[in-house]
């Protein structure tokens, strides 16, 4: 009888240990938009929402990566991040023309000059032309900026984060990344306000075209075989071009 009680106690302990602590439904650092390589992914598992790691997808870094099969990275590639060319005291607006319509966004040049300078440079150089929204999660965010089209591409360089002083509200533009100081070309637009950790540099906000953002977010998706998250668009939505207005 004593031996039966002994083994019963051991079984109960094992069961409790396996149960663990209930997880919270609040977004965490591993639930943001993410930049991930096919081999080594930093994107969340099934129960986790996206990260640019935790929220973006540009290979293990935002540096140019080689696609499987030895193919060269798609899109233009640069040796280094662009030199500063914007005037942080001026006002910059981006008109993002997509196949669903145009989104206009104010850029925070004074708050995040390095990030806005990078975005303005790439936009003016045509880097974003015909780049698709490769990651769509309705109620969370839509992600783009990868010429590779699968979340593993970038411009060939990375640059540092800048302080995040704002919240990830609806319409916020923020950089996707694969960890600290790995910004490149990928960015996301917040569809609905989330409790993201302040790990993704915010560089602008939509001023016109939230209906276009909704239209993109409403595109049907299927499970992405690489990340196992329901974010793979079944309709191609492209950035046709980005026009930068300066005043």
Residue 28 scores a pLDDT above 80? no
Give the residue from 175, 218, 203 showing the smallest Cα distance to 109: 203
- pLDDT-derived band of residue 178, with 50, 70 and 90 as boundaries? very high
- pLDDT-derived band of residue 75, with 50, 70 and 90 as boundaries? confident
Mean pLDDT of 212-230: 96
pLDDT reported for residue 238: 98
Mean pLDDT of 9-30: 34
- Distance from C-alpha of 154 to C-alpha of 14, rounded to nearest angstrom: 46
Mean pLDDT of 230-240: 97
Predicted TM-score (pTM) of this structure: 0.76
Provide the b/e sequence for 221-247 (b: ≥16 CB within 10 Å).
beebebbebebbbeeebbbebbebeee
Question: Where do the domains of the chain lie, and which CATH numbers do they carry?
Answer: 32-65+87-246 (2.40.100.10)
Handedness of CA 213, 218, 219, 224 (dihedral sign): positive
Q: Where are the alpha helices (DSSP H) in the chain?
A: 2-19, 113-124, 210-217
């Amino acid at each position: 009888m004593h031996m039966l009680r002994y083994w019963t106690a051991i079984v109960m302990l094992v069961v409790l240990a396996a149960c663990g602590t209930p997880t919270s439904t609040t977004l965490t650092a591993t639930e943001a938009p993410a930049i991930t390589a096919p081999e080594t992914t930093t994107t969340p598992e099934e129960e986790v929402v996206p990260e640019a790691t935790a929220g973006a997808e540009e290979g293990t870094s935002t540096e140019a990566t080689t696609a499987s099969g030895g193919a060269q990275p798609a899109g233009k590639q640069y040796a280094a991040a662009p030199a500063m060319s914007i005037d942080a005291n001026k006002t910059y607006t981006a008109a993002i023309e997509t196949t669903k319509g145009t989104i206009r966004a104010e850029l925070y040049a004074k708050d995040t000059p390095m990030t806005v300078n990078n975005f303005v440079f790439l936009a003016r150089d045509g880097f974003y032309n015909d780049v698709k929204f490769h990651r769509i999660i309705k109620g969370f965010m839509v992600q783009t900026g990868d010429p590779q089209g699968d979340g593993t591409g970038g411009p060939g360089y990375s640059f540092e984060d800048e302080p995040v002083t704002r919240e990830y509200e609806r319409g916020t533009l923020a950089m996707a990344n694969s960890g600290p100081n790995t910004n490149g070309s990928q960015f996301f637009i917040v569809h609905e306000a989330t409790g993201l950790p302040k790990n993704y540099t915010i560089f602008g906000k939509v001023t016109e075209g939230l209906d276009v953002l909704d239209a993109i977010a409403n595109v049907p998706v299927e499970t992405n075989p690489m990340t196992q998250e329901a974010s793979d668009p079944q309709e191609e939505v492209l950035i046709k071009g980005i026009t930068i207005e300066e005043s």
